[in-house]
Structure 1
Amino acid sequence: MIVSTAAAQRRALIVLVLTLLLGASRFISEGFVSKARAAGAFAVGKCGAYGQAFDYPAEAAARAAALKQCKGDCTAVTMKRACAALSVDMANPCGAHGYAVAPKISGSLNAATKKCYEFGGKECVIRAWACDAKG
């Protein structure tokens, strides 16, 4: 059977269009899922206490969940499609600490450690970290 060039081009075009439609529908559905669950929070307290919550539908729910996990008087920061990290001074865990929120994990880890040293830490290490959605 001989297929004309025009018919072959039409079939190729149909295959291309279907492929693009499938790819677009997947991209759209994943985008809606990640946006629907893109709230997180990180709570930080004294002596290395922390709480974390990620991929919650709303910031208030994430904040409440993080604060519930944190023991003592804690401060909560929200992270939306980002990462948060907590660094504490291992020489004195109840002393200096630092925390940060950044778009990527590497940025939050570096900034939290830097802040711990800025506040007087001598042996600052990462105590905890969390990323929300695509952070």
Structure 2
Amino acid sequence: MTHFPKLIAFLAFLLPGAALAQQWGAVGIGPGGAYGYAHDWNTERQAYGSAARGCEWDCTEIRTFFNTCAAMAVASNGGWGWGTGASRGAAESRAMGYCRQYGNGCRVRVWACSG
């Protein structure tokens, strides 16, 4: 019985952090420079909807991610790439690498991190 208060304190410490550590995000792009992003949502559907609203439902490509960072890059010819990574820089680098496979003049249009 003497360990019970310690167990409760330990669980109270862990549970809020565990809940915050598991979060969905989304990034999206559309024509004419439209973009949207979302981070730290409890469900994938919420993250997707938030990103879509951010680009006023004009995003043609939306990708979701979980507990990481993501970015989307767009080429001058409309080609694009997206990537995830443990940091903004890693996600942007991966998105740029994929974008360059489909076009030139790639630039990161949107990024976000969750979790």
TM tier relative to shorter chain: 0.7 to 0.9
Alpha-carbon distance in 1 for matches of 2:49, 2:79:
25
Q: What's the CA shift for 1:46?
A: 2.8
Q: State the match for 1:79 in structure 2.
A: 65
Alpha-carbon distance in 2 for matches of 1:95, 1:127:
12
Structure (1/2) with the larger helix percentage: 1
Q: State the match for 1:45 in structure 2.
A: 30
Q: CA RMSD in A?
A: 2.7
The question of whether the paired residues in 2 share the 8 Å contact of 1:86 and 1:99 is answered with: yes
Counterparts in 2 of 1:51 and 1:25: CA distance versus 1, 3 Å: same
Alpha-carbon distance in 2 for matches of 1:82, 1:33:
13
Of 99-108 and 111-120, more deviation after overlay is shown by 99-108
Alpha-carbon distance in 2 for matches of 1:109, 1:60:
23
Alpha-carbon distance in 1 for matches of 2:99, 2:31:
13
Counterparts in 2 of 1:106 and 1:113: CA distance versus 1, 3 Å: same
Choose between structure 1 and 2 for higher RCO, CA contacts under 8 A separated by at least 6 residues: 2
Q: State the match for 1:34 in structure 2.
A: 21
C-alpha distance after superposition, 1:23-45 (max 9, x if no partner):
7743443123333xx11111222
Alpha-carbon distance in 2 for matches of 1:48, 1:86:
12
| Structure whose CA Rg is larger | 1
How many residue pairs get aligned? The number is 111
Structure (1/2) with the larger strand percentage: 2
Are 1:57 and 2:39 counterparts?
no
The question of whether the paired residues in 2 share the 8 Å contact of 1:48 and 1:88 is answered with: no
Alpha-carbon distance in 2 for matches of 1:51, 1:62:
10
Unmatched 5+ stretches in structure 1: 1-17
Unmatched 5+ stretches in structure 2: 1-5
